[in-house]
Structure 1
Amino acid sequence: MSLKKKLLLPVFLWAFGFGALQAATPETLVIISNGEKIGILTGVTDGQRVEVDYYVDDNGRGPKHHESILLGEGDIPVSWSVAGTSLMGANVSESYNWQGGVATWSSQADEGRLKLEAPKLYVVNDGSSWALGVYARALLKTKERRLAVLPGGELSLTRIRDMELGEGKAETRVTVYRLAGIDLTAAYIMLDEKERLFASFSPDSVLIREGYEAEADKLLLLGSELSAELAEERQKALAYNFDVPVRIRNVHVFDPESGKLGPLSTVVVMRHRITAVIPVGEDAPGPEDQVIIDGEGGTLVPGLHDMHSHTSRSSGLYYLAAGVTSVRDQGNNNAFLLDLLRRLEAGESAGPRITYNGFLEGRSPYSASHGIIAETIEEAIEAVSWYADRGYWQIKIYNSMNPDWVATIARAAKKRGMGLTGHVPAFGTPDRTIIDGYEDIAHINQLMLGWLLEPGEDTRTPLRLRAMARGAYLDLDTPKVHKTIDLMKERNIALDTTAVILERLMLSRAGTVADGDKPYLDHMPIGYQRYRKRTFVPLKSAQDDEEYQKGFQKILETIKLLHDNNIRLLPGTDDGTGFTVLRELELYTMAGLSPAESLRSATIGCAEYLGTDADLGTIERGKLADFFLIPGDPTKDISEIRKARMVMRGGTIYFPSEIYDALSITPFSTKPAITVPGLAE
């Protein structure tokens, strides 16, 4: 039986059991990423009742569940249930009902009960993309296309344009909308003339009605264009550039080399570069032709790095607001990334500096769906050349790559002036990847799995994350651990840690806010808040819970062990919010590093590794003006870095409070006093 038939079978069985649906026609949409079909979404509507099946398999991960929806007046659901599994295989059981003037809901994130004379639109927590069509149709029935929603927040719908897709008899007129208020980024969707969901799309993936898959590339381009237009609007509104010196007074400068704060000083910036760092007693009276910013005794910290980013159009502002001014992109949609780089260089988009790596995957049933997938060693070598010609810094290898090809790929990359990083290919070992030519390993779990897995276990599946529970019983003082660390020391191998993403997965518990999310989550849109309050790993017993807890503590112990052995730690997140970079550094301190050591790793340490330390990593005369202002002393409390008041990226000024306002996030700080020639603020 084909995959598609298997996926549709639950729908037809449901229809068989409820005769009214036997004549109903399924609406089927397919999910496409990097030209690969990775999922399917099927809905059957019978009057006011809808049955939905959702299946995604992307690199061994993806939600798989069934939804039942009952629509009431104004196409507002009065009942909605979801049952199945989520991204990493955890069980999902969600329900919402409005009956007799009372709304009740229960999900992984929360539960509630509220008296309501009429039903309100409910934002489902573990739903599929079918929900986008439900929300849009409800919003279209309102005058202002805005609705307050349960359990909180507000959704809005903005009409963008009309267009036609398909050819001949298949040509369909659609309307493009921007749906905002659910998550960190707005969703772009298409409705047909009957207001049925035709597509949703971003710059790197597409959900589209079956039969129109040939239009996917057109939608990817449209997603890129629309997100670029929005990014350009925000850049114009939020970025401040001056052709006169900017004088930042009354600040202490954090020096990552010494780990200390300097005396109260003035830092002067002219366009892109720092022109002076002057102790307050030696600073001249304020010239009238300069921009003056009062740091009020706060601290300037060199811009942070995220060494494991998958950059998106929207991630740029989130990064900058968190003081992250440089990232290493560890694999992306190549066309999108190259276009984004051009826009960043032209000043059209806001975002950190990007060192970009080429994603190289092998072909298997578990292949990731972006970058370049090589089916032969010859294709892998061609991919290396393709990336080298376009200025990529390293090749990043992924799970399905044949481990026997790694040494050959490493030689080809080195010949073209590039390095090699990535996951440990399935059925390989960290030790072998080091010997074969890796310069750093991506993810601490990829390193530790070499000590936890049995021969033949397949890391192309979610096992590469679930097996970290075995860390509860790992002895770090064993020959196999010492052998790997000795190899890393001998060959100067770094580790891109991404401990924060493992904390999120291993310690996530339904209905609770994880420690790493507590400082910011209640500032965020309702959909994102609820998304974070869920269990991402299967927990079948109290023992499972305990093993994940202890396994994560072993990760922290491993970070300290590596640090004590002078292994370079590269803070990375596998995320794009900026908040996770800040948490990664907090985790370093929890592991036993001092706040100053943690900050060094994310500033000059990363710049040294990337070879950019002549321009970045410290705040000195002649260097690029990449830094951020916080009110307190991060050497005493690393969490002070969460309170950025101003960020400079190459002399361009951003105020996080203004960024967060634009992104519908409650700000975390106020901007400092600024005086502009001819205009006082």
Structure 2
Amino acid sequence: MSHKRVHAYVGATVIDATGAPPRPNQTVTVADRMITAVGPAAQVPTPPGAVVHDVRGKYLIPGLTDMHVHSESETLDPRHFASLYIANGVTAVREMWGRPSLHRIRHLVDSGSLLGPRMTIASPLLDGDPALWSDVPDAPVVAIGHPAQARRAVGEAVDAGADFVKVYSRLDPECYRAVLAEAHRRDVPVAGHRSDNVPFVEQIESGQRSFEHMFGGIWTAASSDMDRLEAALAAIQTSPEFHLGSWLKQVAQVEWDAIATYDRVAAGSVFDRLVAADVAYTPTLAVHVAVDEPESIRLDDPRMDYLVPGTPESWEFLTRHIYCGGGRSAEEHVQHRDLLTWRRATVGAMSEAGVRLLAGTDSVGPGLFPGFSLHVELEQLVLAGLSPLQALQAATIEPARFLGREHWAGTVEAGRVADLVVLDADPLADIRNTRLIHSVVADGHHVGPAERRELLATAARIAAGAE
């Protein structure tokens, strides 16, 4: 991929994600993968020899980041997921489940051999014993039963190239603290689930940099009956064959008890602790929609064309046995709809309190599509109470800040990397307009409408086994 050509995007309204008002009729110039100028079209000259893109009437935003993905299948051509991300304007991802093959794909992207998103890659999952994914064949999970194992697992992950350590729900207190201590010693961040076995307020101040999903954790800590509910989480016993499914079912019951005793003052205290510790939260509301309202998963969705054959059967199995824990009563269906409403309301309250929110999807589970689902997450964040600009920031400048890239990524400013999305309509008027993508710029590489259509066609052909 050549980045040598200079490009000028002329006439768009720039929404730079810094919080500044939209600026109409701008020229943005790009050279050597970087944004070299942003300013009024009447004042910013078009560089000699530049490829000029007339984007009058369109809207230009930073490239989007999905901060929670599980995107790689060992058997698929790496162009599959990469194409779906770029076609959807997703120019960076945080891979939350480390595998050696992801590092090989990152090398292809970084070397310019593959057009794909910038990748941040986790360790394997570090979980308690039994691990929630221990009954899934070949899942890269390390089940930890002793602090020495925890320290060794951190060291092995760092030596294998992990950018951060991923912790999971069943770590016991000693092992959780050992992971954090060893990661701190090796100067590597820790992110992931809260542990059922350690009070959430302690975990906030433990050094863990981000928490993922809206399961359990916040509401137990935000309850007037916190000690009993934290103890209920710690008392969960999972069942062999479907550890994760049985866990989800029991967590939902603790959540239901917790919202009955939700205390706004206690919640405010938890949010203030998150802000004070500069801990980020990735709500992944897109996956909660699928878990709490599995009837929303449509197997006739046209985006299924981009997923491999057998996906409908896989989704049906996972929805029944994992998401629904073997089945739900009519009462449980109603409870889950209420829980989803509470999840959104809690995310809105977190935003209002100043908690750093990161947009993430948890793709590619049931009901989720790589790249496409980030736009669902943005819509969910607005339904939760964020403004469209705040939702955009959760997928642009906030991930850049979290990843230590804010000085060179995440906004549309001169001196930033050229990760851009050109939209046909205003995302601040309706966040769903982020789906109306005209073109994408990924690390300086221009992806026009024709190339974007070809990326999607390539992904469909790979999924169908035709390429």
**What TM-score, normalized by structure 1, do the two folds share?**
0.57
8 Å contact from structure 1 (residues 449, 468) kept in 2: no
How far off its partner does 1:411 sit?
Answer: 1.9
CA separation of 1:345/1:448 partners in 2, compared to 1, >3 Å: closer, same or farther? same
Unaligned ranges ≥5, structure 1: 1-239, 666-681
- Counterpart Cα distance in 2 of 1:374 and 1:383: 8
How far off its partner does 1:464 sit?
Answer: 4.3
- Counterpart Cα distance in 1 of 2:433 and 2:453: 16
How far off its partner does 1:478 sit?
Answer: 5.0
Larger Rg: 1
1:490 aligns with 2:276: yes
Determine which structure has greater relative contact order: mean sequence separation of CA pairs < 8 Å that are 6+ residues apart, divided by chain length.
2
Output aligned runs, 1:319-468, within 5 Å: 319-333=85-99, 335-362=100-127, 364-368=129-133, 369-448=139-218, 450=220, 454-455=232-233, 456-458=235-237, 461-466=244-249, 467-468=251-252
Structure with bigger helix share is 2
1:278 corresponds to: 39
| Equivalent position to 1:547, from 335, 339, 358 | 335
- Counterpart Cα distance in 2 of 1:408 and 1:282: 57
1:586 corresponds to: 379
- Counterpart Cα distance in 2 of 1:380 and 1:303: 36
Unaligned ranges ≥5, structure 2: 73-77, 134-138, 222-228, 365-369, 462-467
8 Å contact from structure 2 (residues 97, 122) kept in 1: yes
- Counterpart Cα distance in 2 of 1:482 and 1:249: 45
- Aligned amino acid, residue 271 of structure 2: I
My pick for the range that moved more, 398-407 or 469-478, is 469-478
How far off its partner does 1:448 sit?
Answer: 3.5
2:347 corresponds to: 559
CA separation of 1:441/1:285 partners in 2, compared to 1, >3 Å: closer, same or farther? closer
Provide Cα deviations, 1:517-543, integer angstroms capped at 9, x if missing partner.
97x647656865787787652554332
Provide Cα deviations, 1:210-230, integer angstroms capped at 9, x if missing partner.
xxxxxxxxxxxxxxxxxxxxx
- Aligned amino acid, residue 664 of structure 1: A
- Counterpart Cα distance in 2 of 1:284 and 1:442: 45
My pick for the range that moved more, 461-470 or 393-402, is 461-470
3-state SS of the aligned residue for 2:244? coil
2:14 corresponds to: 253
RMSD: 2.8
CA separation of 1:427/1:490 partners in 2, compared to 1, >3 Å: closer, same or farther? same
1:295 corresponds to: 55
- Aligned amino acid, residue 245 of structure 1: V
8 Å contact from structure 2 (residues 3, 33) kept in 1: no
How far off its partner does 1:274 sit?
Answer: 1.0
CA separation of 1:423/1:381 partners in 2, compared to 1, >3 Å: closer, same or farther? same
- Counterpart Cα distance in 2 of 1:657 and 1:352: 17
Provide Cα deviations, 1:157-205, integer angstroms capped at 9, x if missing partner.
xxxxxxxxxxxxxxxxxxxxxxxxxxxxxxxxxxxxxxxxxxxxxxxxx
1:318 aligns with 2:84: yes
2:4 corresponds to: 243
How far off its partner does 1:664 sit?
Answer: 2.7
Structure with bigger strand share is 1
| Equivalent position to 2:286, from 492, 500, 509 | 500
| Amino-acid identity (%) | 24
8 Å contact from structure 1 (residues 423, 446) kept in 2: no
- Aligned amino acid, residue 632 of structure 1: A
- Counterpart Cα distance in 2 of 1:461 and 1:528: 20
| Equivalent position to 1:568, from 356, 369, 375 | 356
How far off its partner does 1:612 sit?
Answer: 0.2
2:402 corresponds to: 609
- Counterpart Cα distance in 2 of 1:546 and 1:294: 50
**What TM-score, normalized by structure 2, do the two folds share?**
0.81
3-state SS of the aligned residue for 1:264? strand
3-state SS of the aligned residue for 2:131? coil
- Counterpart Cα distance in 1 of 2:30 and 2:46: 16
- Counterpart Cα distance in 2 of 1:383 and 1:532: 31
Provide Cα deviations, 1:265-317, integer angstroms capped at 9, x if missing partner.
12111121111123122244674x32222224211110111111223233221
8 Å contact from structure 1 (residues 269, 276) kept in 2: yes
8 Å contact from structure 1 (residues 377, 405) kept in 2: yes
- Counterpart Cα distance in 2 of 1:641 and 1:241: 27
How far off its partner does 1:417 sit?
Answer: 1.4
- Counterpart Cα distance in 1 of 2:103 and 2:268: 41
8 Å contact from structure 1 (residues 360, 374) kept in 2: no
How far off its partner does 1:346 sit?
Answer: 1.4
How far off its partner does 1:437 sit?
Answer: 2.8
CA separation of 1:305/1:464 partners in 2, compared to 1, >3 Å: closer, same or farther? farther
CA separation of 1:571/1:290 partners in 2, compared to 1, >3 Å: closer, same or farther? same
CA separation of 1:285/1:592 partners in 2, compared to 1, >3 Å: closer, same or farther? closer
8 Å contact from structure 2 (residues 38, 44) kept in 1: no
8 Å contact from structure 1 (residues 309, 329) kept in 2: yes
How far off its partner does 1:547 sit?
Answer: 0.9
- Counterpart Cα distance in 1 of 2:92 and 2:186: 24
Output aligned runs, 1:594-605, within 5 Å: 594-605=387-398
3-state SS of the aligned residue for 2:407? coil
| Equivalent position to 1:265, from 26, 42, 60 | 26
- Counterpart Cα distance in 2 of 1:566 and 1:294: 38
3-state SS of the aligned residue for 2:440? strand
3-state SS of the aligned residue for 2:55? strand
- Counterpart Cα distance in 1 of 2:168 and 2:69: 15
8 Å contact from structure 2 (residues 348, 384) kept in 1: yes
- Aligned amino acid, residue 343 of structure 1: L
3-state SS of the aligned residue for 2:67? strand
- Aligned amino acid, residue 300 of structure 1: L
1:660 aligns with 2:459: no
How far off its partner does 1:492 sit?
Answer: 2.2
- Aligned amino acid, residue 59 of structure 2: T
- Counterpart Cα distance in 1 of 2:350 and 2:247: 21
3-state SS of the aligned residue for 2:295? coil
3-state SS of the aligned residue for 2:15? strand
- Aligned amino acid, residue 360 of structure 2: G
Output aligned runs, 1:153-302, within 5 Å: 241-258=2-19, 260-284=21-45, 287=48, 289-302=49-62
- Counterpart Cα distance in 2 of 1:524 and 1:392: 29
3-state SS of the aligned residue for 2:202? helix
8 Å contact from structure 1 (residues 469, 551) kept in 2: no
CA separation of 1:431/1:462 partners in 2, compared to 1, >3 Å: closer, same or farther? farther
- Aligned amino acid, residue 462 of structure 1: G
How far off its partner does 1:255 sit?
Answer: 2.0
